[in-house]
Structure 1
């Protein structure tokens, strides 16, 4: 298991809503990974490498090679044929073993049956390229639905990008998610959270925090994956607090990333 960061470690900085209007680039994420001493960088739909020109991509490859980093890719939209194919081609070029996929995108929210049908259409191309598909438990599907999709396609080539918080949207917490999906996991999004009552006491909010400062039992999550025989990379993702980031998201996200890496290093040495 290797520790990594990605484009969703710095969501506001990547979006250009950080202090001073600065926008974090792909090369900027690589530089931060180098400074933090992690081994993996993951680029998802908020900062797709498919948007780079050939010259920019060549520069990116040089930077990654010099930093000794592995690259992982993620995209969104099972209905986006062009986007999926471009990510597959780029995965082959960069030596990425899987493409993380959020199935919803562009207003298209396929049913589990539609997901199975479309994945079966794509599987021959992915198998031929030696690249797997990692479906993220993004929120709409329960773990049981995701498991059924995998079983009805090909568990050798379709797995899970396991996010430790997203499934609250499907009324399932980390214990349920990890216990059910660990055996299919190809990648881990290590994301911590707190649950607090709103000021008037009429409801709760789920908010992000640096890894190690919330309610996620990180040693248990990693232990469950290891027990399931899944030697997967752990990518730190952050739901940065809008209130804390309003003045200078750039500084806040850097601080959260540093704290998260420092904490995770207790259990992930590489």
Structure 2
């Protein structure tokens, strides 16, 4: 039985309305009605710009390398960092992706002040030249509970994020490119929804990460329900948990091997936005520590229901795996590269067999 599926008050109300009847329908669209799953560059965290001299898993040094490889393994597209690209390189990315019939999405930083807008404009222009319609961004440089240590610090982050997005919006509108803000272990879902509503722009929405907000003790299905109406793009992942002294450990695992109801999450996103893209973010690494039983963890949160914490800890106990979560640090560099590739291939197979993304 899947975890994270208790019927909350909100879910009960939603399922009692006519608008929620879609959840009773078959959750997977007909084969061929959606594109193949893409791959986020962060899925190749070990291989991207790798210095390991591997013959089997040579490092990727550019978006073209990533495109070539993802085409070989049957992915439908890529989401990749745009930084220091030239006009010629952007055109090469477009030519290559069109040859492969693959989509390309960008990952881009936001302008922090007015004198950075021109550089942002140039990067968006190159994203357009590369054939992109969507670029993903984040509003923080790390995990909320690790980089922020007070309510005032989070308020400052929110103020700066709003200002940056307001600087970016006219550029996005000019080039007709959508910017998708990720729930990057920084925003709880209602906070990100409030930000997007305040911006009120057709060009700014969400990159919906299926698993990140477990780290903020949110129910991932509630997060999907909240953010799906604003979602342009996704980071698809499955998650597993394990207790530890200060809270719980959190790991990405191959799709279908964790606790998330991936088919239902995909169906909700499709219902809200039929053109949404599904990008795999399978990060092969050691588990992350979520220290939700420490005082510092809670420093930035104004009010979180105690029930959220209780549910997160209960899920960690109820979903204890037969074996510990996978650790990559004890492995050799070659073995880490092999594990990464195996995980991505397994996820793409799942997307074709179970999600009709083929």
By the TM > 0.5 criterion, same fold? yes
**Inter-partner Cα distance in structure 2 for 1:63 and 1:7:** 17
Tell me which residue corresponds to 2:343: 256
Aligned 1:40-59 pairs, distance under 5 A: 40-44=77-81, 48=82, 50-53=83-86, 56-59=89-92
**Inter-partner Cα distance in structure 1 for 2:52 and 2:214:** 27
Gaps of 5+ in 1: none
Tell me which residue corresponds to 1:143: 189
**Inter-partner Cα distance in structure 2 for 1:169 and 1:52:** 33
Tell me which residue corresponds to 1:220: 264
**Inter-partner Cα distance in structure 1 for 2:219 and 2:110:** 24
User: Which of 70, 79, 82 is the matching residue for 2:112?
Assistant: 79
| Residues 158 and 262 (structure 1), Cα distance of their counterparts in 2 relative to 1, 3 Å cut | same
**Inter-partner Cα distance in structure 1 for 2:52 and 2:44:** 9
8 Å CA contact 2:189–2:226 kept in 1: the answer is yes
TM-score normalised by length of structure 1? 0.86
**Inter-partner Cα distance in structure 2 for 1:202 and 1:125:** 44
- Structure 1 residues 67-76 or 85-94, which shifts more? 85-94
Once the two structures are superposed, residues 128-156 of structure 1 have per-residue CA deviations (whole angstroms, 9 ceiling, x without a partner) of: 11012110000112111111111111241
Corresponding residue SS for 1:196: strand
Structure exhibiting the larger radius of gyration computed from Cα positions: 2
Gaps of 5+ in 2: 1-33, 148-152, 287-326
Tell me which residue corresponds to 2:249: 205
| Residues 78 and 145 (structure 1), Cα distance of their counterparts in 2 relative to 1, 3 Å cut | farther
CA RMSD of aligned residues (A): 2.6
TM-score normalised by length of structure 2? 0.67
Aligned 1:1-270 pairs, distance under 5 A: 1-2=34-35, 3-16=37-50, 20=54, 22-25=58-61, 26-44=63-81, 48=82, 50-53=83-86, 56-79=89-112, 81=116, 84-105=120-141, 110-198=156-244, 203-242=247-286, 243-244=327-328, 246-247=331-332, 248=334, 249-265=336-352, 266-270=354-358
- 1:115 positional shift: 2.3
Residues matched between the structures, number: 264
| Residues 78 and 217 (structure 1), Cα distance of their counterparts in 2 relative to 1, 3 Å cut | farther
